[in-house]
Amino acid sequence: MDFWKDKRVLVTGGAGFLGSFVVEKLKKRSCDNIFIPKSRDYDLVQMEAVQKLYRDAKPDVVIHLAARVGGIGANRVNPGKFFYENLMMGVQLMEIGRQKGIEKFVAIGTICAYPKFTPIPFREEDLWSGYPEETNAPYGLAKKMLLVQAQAYRQQYGFNAIYLLPVNLYGPGDNFNPESSHVIPALIKKCIDAKTGVCSKKYEVSNNAADSVVPTTDSPPAVVVWGTGTASREFLYVEDCAEAIVLAAEKYNKPDPVNIGAGFEISIKDLVALIARLTGFQGAITWDTSKPDGQPRRMLDISKAEREFGFKAKTKFEQGLKKTIEWYVSTRQPR
């Protein structure tokens, strides 16, 4: 708590899914000066807005969580937009932070920065051993440039920037919008909706880090999942990720990237079966093998985070899923 005493902290994306948990962790550590910019007031793609933000916030520490994200479909449609906007937000925020002489910059990367065929478990040393999975590459590479910038600025200017690589997140407060939700909230929503008779359509769910669910043809309630189901993913409960970010901000001051995860993997097929069981969904589940699986496997080596700043995920996967389902059920608005 001494670390945060009297510090002014800027949290970009602080009103979002992950950001709201990070802000709550900061408040519990008696951090009283937290600035959360709203996108309507600060377009962080524009240099003028970034300069204004620093003038208004006057931060000592910046935690950069804001990002432009999407699933396989969105990445296919917007590769240039995702590359440019994520690159410009991060590069400009770090550059102005350097100019202002802030104490620390916490850059949040993405699992999509890893090569498509990274050996399991993903080790930080393998980050540059190949090209990212094609559908995610522009986004992943844009976020990866923050690591290059952080290391270059540390070398030339002595600027204290760190770079964290969280795995796919889930939890209460996640995005359940069927047009842009990730695979876990997408599956939860469609299973619950079909079970309760809210919809009578069949829905598609893709298995990428951020996945859209789109209605197809009228039919009895069913869920159609993209791919073969053989791809694997690792998921981290959002509150655990927030704790990792805050711990790293307090304790980690080195140039090397650090994975943030739970250290397990689950196949998409097993994930679908688990969510169906936990939601009580007993309808049909089919697989559209004409659609891509995305990256074949994802699981992180998480030893560095525990060694460097004492982080280890606490929330068991099934427990986290139950909490997420309960939150969705308690807050959903019937159509």
Three-class SS of residue 105? Answer: strand
Give the dihedral sign, CA 49/55/56/61: positive
One of 139, 163, 203, 237 is an active-site residue; which one? 139
Read off the tokens for 129.
């051993």
186 dihedral zone (left: phi>0; alpha: psi -120 to 50; beta): alpha
Is 309 in a helix, a strand, or coil?
A: helix
Q: Is 324 helix (H, G, I), strand (E, B) or coil?
A: helix
Q: How does DSSP assign 242-253, residue by residue?
A: HHHHHHHHHH--
102: Cβ contacts below 8 Å, ≥ 6 apart: 59, 60, 61, 62
280 phi/psi in degrees, rounded to 5: 80, 20
Strand 8-12 versus strand 61-64 pairing type: parallel
Residue 249, phi-psi category: left (phi > 0), alpha (psi -120 to 50), beta (remainder): alpha
Catalytic-residue membership of 203:
no
Residues 117 and 137: their CA atoms lie apart, in Å, by 13
Alpha carbon distance 146, 91 (integer Å): 7
The SS3 call for residue 104 is strand
3 state DSSP class of 307: helix
The Cα angle at residue 110 between residues 78 and 318, in degrees rounded to 5: 110
Active site residues: 139
